[in-house]
Structure 1
């Protein structure tokens, strides 16, 4: 079997700090927070009354008005981002290649907004008022399905659902398919839009969300001693992956190469990682091993960095376990300090930003890192971006159920 090199030839993002990749990247580097009062519903009775919402997004250039009425917000994000992605990649799928192009988009919860609204209507007006579009609007794989329709991709079409690692697993599966020759290209990443009463109420019940209601923009503070939980976010991040042969044949611009993918399970607890971060370490090691990269060669880590007490400390411990003394030399950042925790979209958005970091030679900051936790004592790029050559970056995603996924990207070289 021939193993193919896999490269990144397109990027797209819709985030709480920008409605496209360019504005999201500019604001990420500038340290702009996307947090603010919740506008998607009346949150007055909730312990947490703020979130990182996507703001004033206009889907009309990407999604027809009639179709948009039949799509949940998460699918609108995915289709819109896919159209941006193909434009960024400068590619339209030729019909004769359609069966070789996969769409693998992770999503943690799917159309929760549609589910809640339909359940309310059911209780108030009875079953006859349930829309025939309810099920196809709500299901989590509809993002991948609608993207495939929009771009004409007829290869493998699926949704990876693994909580907050969903987007990263989607990229990992797409990378594996191309590496093995099952596909020549793939639209992949993650999407989520669940800033809803049930989601916020549920995460509040878990004591997982920050309740810093008087200072929303200072609430997401990964690795800081005063962190008190994550800030829920939403959005979409997509990558176009291609085999190197396919990318070169069409004259594509290459952002970076996918060097390795690692995945693991904690086999420990439904919501908490083990204190030593063993599962996280297993996934990081696997990505390095697949890349044939020694730990001391790693330069940068885009951390999962949720701003929860347990996760940040466990991730730090796992990094030290994998890298040993070199951990002190690696530069970390936590995009969630600005975009919040976008759940199933996190790995997609953060992978897109990791690739941008390689392409631009700038590591975005971890904002609100004012009083660094002694248990999180690595170089976390506090509060100001750093201009430095970034030949490689490990992007981490970990989720409930003890699910872990890591992608390793590197600068492309012939």
Structure 2
């Protein structure tokens, strides 16, 4: 029998609150953390909003040298790692270092440092040939995504499998899925895994402006991200991270660890269709959901909540709504399906991990977060998107779905271990 994988620790840096308790309260509040961008002057951009983290690295124990060395993306991951390891009750040396691994998901890596260093090296973009004499010593670390996983591994002393997953907006789910597979196949007993992203920089905002993917409700930033609403016109960029402790089930039981949820099934598919376009039928996402449910040996009618991708673009909302109906059948109409991006924005490669954390917390606390800002549901979209207010609701099985540029479609099934016959 395949080894089972459970979540025993959660660490979060998110817009609206740092730390898992603050994150969960933000989600249950139904209040959005989006605002006009403060990280730089956004006045020249089409979309001028973001869901920013109020994050002071010194307040969370990072030294001046670590802050100088690490991009904000890595800082998020390291702070989350410290929280999730403490939350799991893992003392140093309790698990042999060679049985602990790391997998980090990120779409755009050290965007902030790469852009700011290019500005310096190119003299504000005036020089085509940059002067390397002005480069900081850590520039290579900003360029190579593996530095994110290395920083986390150094933090916990992990000497097992260490890797980065970078496949766009599904990277958070896929990194966790890969980490679970490492445990299932016996290469590790504990994996520190999740996603991290700090993309709020002029280059990122300009890219999404160019394809008109982000909202232009600049006059009302808090209510700009409106998944499934008839007035939606795109997502709001976000930042943040979630790192989770994944552990082999029997290993967790032997040490008396608290278990949030079991990762019972994970699958990813591609549409082989278009870099940014989605076909309305949602066949590829539906196939990923079917495979994940089959892997979990859980029927579609057992799903109690769907954590939706929910970007608030017309094509995505239609695509995933079709995929849920195609995969869950009539049960789709009885299943709450909401998007937390409406409150924390779209943090690209990190958001799938943040949504996975939300699934684990929903299973633990018996409540599902709402879709904020959903006042007038698009009549073409006919599921229960839990508008505006959180709902008390027993969740034994949660389904988390993600969609990313390049046509990636991922699904993860999480469950209460004792509630589902395995």
Q: Same fold (TM over 0.5)?
A: yes
CA apart distance, 1:261: 0.7
CA apart distance, 1:60: 4.0
Matches within 5 A, 1:1-16: 2-16=1-15
* Aligned mate of 1:346, from 345, 351, 369: 351
* Aligned mate of 1:371, from 358, 370, 376: 376
Cα gap change, 1:131 to 1:373, in 2 (>3 Å): same
Alpha-carbon separation, structure 2, partners of 1:283 and 1:116: 35
Aligned twin of 1:229: 234
Aligned twin of 1:128: 133
Aligned twin of 1:45: 44
Matches within 5 A, 1:266-345: 266-345=271-350
Aligned twin of 2:253: 248
* Aligned mate of 1:209, from 197, 205, 214: 214
CA apart distance, 1:203: 0.2
Q: Could you list the per-position Cα deviations for residues 211-232 of structure 1 after superposition, in whole angstroms to 9, with x for gaps in the alignment?
A: 1100001111111111000000
Alpha-carbon separation, structure 2, partners of 1:179 and 1:17: 35
Q: Could you list the per-position Cα deviations for residues 299-354 of structure 1 after superposition, in whole angstroms to 9, with x for gaps in the alignment?
A: 11000111111001100001111111111011111000000001010011110011
What is the aligned length?
A: 413
Matches within 5 A, 1:51-62: 51-62=50-61
CA apart distance, 1:177: 1.0
Alpha-carbon separation, structure 2, partners of 1:385 and 1:95: 38
Q: Could you list the per-position Cα deviations for residues 54-113 of structure 1 after superposition, in whole angstroms to 9, with x for gaps in the alignment?
A: 014344433222111111000000000000111111112427611111100100000111
CA apart distance, 1:407: 1.1
Give ranges in structure 1 of 5+ residues lacking alignment: none
* 3-state SS of 1:94 partner: coil
Alignment root-mean-square deviation, CA: 1.3
CA apart distance, 1:237: 0.8
Alpha-carbon separation, structure 1, partners of 2:92 and 2:247: 12
TM-score (norm 1): 0.97
Matches within 5 A, 1:85-124: 85-94=84-93, 97-124=96-123
Alpha-carbon separation, structure 2, partners of 1:140 and 1:217: 32
1:332·1:381 contact (CA, 8 Å) conserved in 2? yes
* Aligned mate of 1:400, from 402, 405, 409: 405
Alpha-carbon separation, structure 1, partners of 2:14 and 2:62: 18
1:14·1:236 contact (CA, 8 Å) conserved in 2? yes
Give ranges in structure 2 of 5+ residues lacking alignment: 124-129
TM-score (norm 2): 0.96
Aligned twin of 2:127: none
2:10·2:88 contact (CA, 8 Å) conserved in 1? yes
Q: Could you list the per-position Cα deviations for residues 129-185 of structure 1 after superposition, in whole angstroms to 9, with x for gaps in the alignment?
A: 112210113422222110100111111111100100001000000111111111111
